[in-house]
Amino acid sequence: MSKKNVFIVGHEGTTGLRIHERLSGRGDINLLSIADEDRKDMTKIADIAAGADLIFLCLPDAASIEVVEATKDLNCKIIDASTAFRTHPDWAYGFPELGESYRQKIATNRYIANPGCHSSGMIAILKPLVEAGIVPADYPVSVFSLTGYSGGGKKMIGQYEDPEKEVALHAPRQYGLGQKHKHLPEVVHTCGLATSPIFSPIVDDYYAGMEVTIGFHTSHLNNNPTAKDIHDALLAQYKDSQMVNVAPFDLDATNGLFLAANENTDLDTMTLYVSGNDDRVMVHAILDNLGKGASGAAVQCMNIALGFPEETGLAVK
């Protein structure tokens, strides 16, 4: 196959840099670049995009929307890392493990929206359980999620890495308290939920790594499933996946664990654990917010969209 031309818009940001790292050593990709002084000039961006097979947008939402408009008459495929298009019907949702229709749309669509980091964990847990008829669409889902500070991009990284940082930044901090977190619409949309989950994200004083946890009272689920039933449904969904792994079912072993949110840091994979007991089950998704939560997922989608083997260039455990 001939080399593909790829352009990372926002290559100097947190997500863009990680995509650059994953692609720069590859012989099958030719990375296009833009002069530093032109990097926010839409005309210059569109000129370079005209010669690209695919462009990544690693930008704030408003800038992504501007680039999509400026490149609307071109042929390059677009993978957008922002929140702007994740529920848009014309866009593929970049989570191929959700099913063949997702993988096909990623392979064939011009536009691909990369999932959010917290939402990747929530959706990986909820969608197969809703589809298996275990979790009713109107179940009152409640989620908490731990994240490293790189999830907040360059600004938050600067705050946490400032030697003079305020005392509060040494402790875990809960946010999104108004229940309007920007990841909730894509979770409701993709999983077909009747209502938005209660969502408690927590950012802590470590660079990267995420642990998304959802608890279920099994007596309020359909047909009173056991913990093993829940594990079986997740395994059925992900058994052929290299990127989403389900840890073996072993409640005794899991109950004795301290699950660390940085377990998959520097990997592009996600691991799901089932814990608890047959009355109260918890499912945990552990991923790197910059790996399967952002740049790793984006490169996985690029591989599918450009016809490369799906795991090329990714860190798979």
Ligand X SMILES: NC(=O)C1=CN([C@@H]2O[C@H](COP(=O)(O)OP(=O)(O)OC[C@H]3O[C@@H](n4cnc5c(N)ncnc54)[C@H](OP(=O)(O)O)[C@@H]3O)[C@@H](O)[C@H]2O)C=CC1
Selecting among 58, 76, 117, 301, the annotated active-site residue is 117
Distance CA(259)–CA(237), nearest Å, equals 23
Interface with ligand X2W, residue 147, by CB under 6 A:
yes
Interface with ligand X2W, residue 265, by CB under 6 A:
no
Q: How many CB atoms lie within 10 A of CB 170?
A: 11
3-class secondary structure, 109: coil
Interface with ligand X2W, residue 116, by CB under 6 A:
yes
Q: Which residues contact 147 (CB under 8 A, 6 or more apart)?
A: 117, 118, 201, 202, 203, 204, 209, 210, 261, 289
Contact map string, positions 79 to 98, toward ligand X2W, x by CB under 6 A: ---xx---------------
Burial 49-87 (b: 16+ CB within 10 A, else e): beebbbbbbbbeeebbbbbbebbeebebbbbbbbbbbbe
**β-strand partners of 155:** none
Distance CA(159)–CA(161), nearest Å, equals 6
R_g over Cα of the chain: 19
Please identify which residue in 99, 136, 153, 276 interacts with ligand X, judged by CB under 6 A: 153
Q: Are strands 280-287 and 210-217 parallel, antiparallel or unpaired?
A: antiparallel
C-beta of residue 154 within 8 angstroms of C-beta of residue 162: no
In the bound state with ligand X2W, the residue whose beta carbon lies nearer, of 56 and 308, is 56
Query: Minimum CB separation from ligand X for residue 223, in Å?
Result: 35
Return the residues of window 53-82 that contact ligand X2W according to CB under 6 A: 82
Distance CA(165)–CA(303), nearest Å, equals 40
In the bound state with ligand X2W, the residue whose beta carbon lies nearer, of 152 and 215, is 152
Is 191 an active-site residue? no
Interface with ligand X, residue 10, by CB under 6 A:
yes
**β-strand partners of 180:** none
Please identify which residue in 8, 67, 117, 281 interacts with ligand X2W, judged by CB under 6 A: 117
The window from 10-18, 24-32, 172-180, 216-224 that contacts ligand X (CB under 6 A) reads: 10-18
In the bound state with ligand X, the residue whose beta carbon lies nearer, of 114 and 237, is 114
The answer to the question of whether 317 is labelled as a binding residue is yes
Total chain residues near ligand X (CB under 6 A): 26
Residue 78 interacting partner from ligand X2W, ligand X, none (CB closer than 5 to 8 Å by kind): none
**β-strand partners of 6:** 31, 54
In which residue are the tokens 């014309």 written? 90
In the bound state with ligand X, the residue whose beta carbon lies nearer, of 58 and 212, is 58
Structure-block tokens of residue 85: 């298009």
Angle at 29 between CA 310 and CA 91, to 5 degrees: 55
Please identify which residue in 4, 5, 6, 14 interacts with ligand X, judged by CB under 6 A: 14
Contact map string, positions 183 to 202, toward ligand X2W, x by CB under 6 A: x-----------------x-
In the bound state with ligand X2W, the residue whose beta carbon lies nearer, of 38 and 266, is 266
Return the residues of window 30-49 that contact ligand X according to CB under 6 A: 39-40
Return the active site residues: 117
**Contact positions vs ligand X2W (CB under 6 A):** 82-83, 116-118, 147, 151-152, 156, 182-183, 201, 203
Q: What are the binding residues for ATP?
A: 317
Q: What are the binding residues?
A: 317
**Contact positions vs ligand X (CB under 6 A):** 10, 12-16, 39-40, 58-61, 63, 81-83, 116-117, 150-151, 153-154, 289-290, 293-294
